[in-house]
């Protein structure tokens, strides 16, 4: 099994989440730890393309096996917004609080709060590209609750829980997490890659 990868992200919260879900024998270096100072744009209209673009950028730069991810929150009743624009929903500043405020404003008077987080993880090993998907379904609540997590965590309750992601520690969140599901698929694939 390939036991060391660069994680093509500048998001410290995502790096912490990924690290918390890794087996002990697996090493993931962040871009910063790999000496890469780069803000990779997300110019595409799908999570798949943005995720692939980020991984490809780092692989081209380093020629080291790597992975990236892009995650979107999709709310059914408002045409799956914010979707691929989740991080920049309220503008280029990527302000979590403003994004949540805009989302709750959009949902004013709407009863259907069904939503899902979708993560697309792109792995590049020896120039070959693979993708893995993780989905967590749930609902959006009326006002933020909890102080942990990041992004839309304070207003999202996953199916099977009565707590928002922002009320959970990492171990609890990983029981539901879209990112953890995609990571689990990727790690299983890497295990099989060694077996082959």
**Catalytic (active-site) positions:** 70
Q: How far is CA 55 from the centre of its chain?
A: 14
Q: How many CA atoms lie within 13 A of 147 on its CB side?
A: 0
Question: What are φ and ψ of residue 189, in 5° steps?
Answer: -65, -45
Four-point Cα dihedral 63, 69, 70, 71, nearest 10: -170
Q: How many CB atoms lie within 10 A of CB 125?
A: 16
Contact 48/78 with Cβ under 8 angstroms?
no
Question: Which tokens sit at 18?
Answer: 């990924």
Cα torsion through 181, 151, 54, 127, rounded to 10: -10
What is the secondary structure of 118-172 as a DSSP string?
EEEEEEEETTEEEEEEEEEEEEE-SS---SSS-TTGGGEEETT-SS-GGGS-HHH
């Amino acid at each position: 099994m390939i036991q060391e990868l660069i994680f093509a992200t500048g998001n410290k919260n995502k790096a912490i989440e990924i690290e918390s879900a890794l087996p002990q024998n697996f090493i993931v270096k962040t871009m910063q730890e790999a000496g890469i100072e780069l803000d990779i744009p997300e110019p595409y209209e799908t999570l798949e393309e943005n995720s692939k673009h980020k991984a490809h950028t780092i692989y081209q730069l380093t020629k080291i096996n790597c992975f990236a991810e892009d995650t979107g929150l999709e709310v059914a009743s408002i045409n799956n917004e914010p979707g691929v624009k989740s991080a920049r929903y309220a503008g280029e500043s990527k302000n979590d609080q403003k994004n949540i405020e805009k989302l709750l404003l959009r949902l004013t008077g709407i009863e259907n709060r069904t939503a899902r987080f979708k993560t697309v993880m792109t792995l590049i090993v020896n120039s070959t590209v693979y993708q893995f998907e993780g989905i967590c379904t749930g609902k959006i609540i009326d006002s933020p609750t909890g102080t942990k997590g990041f992004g839309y965590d304070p207003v999202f309750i996953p199916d099977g829980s009565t707590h928002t992601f922002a009320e959970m520690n990492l171990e609890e969140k990983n029981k539901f997490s879209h990112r953890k599901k995609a990571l689990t698929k990727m790690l299983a694939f890497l295990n099989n890659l060694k077996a082959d």
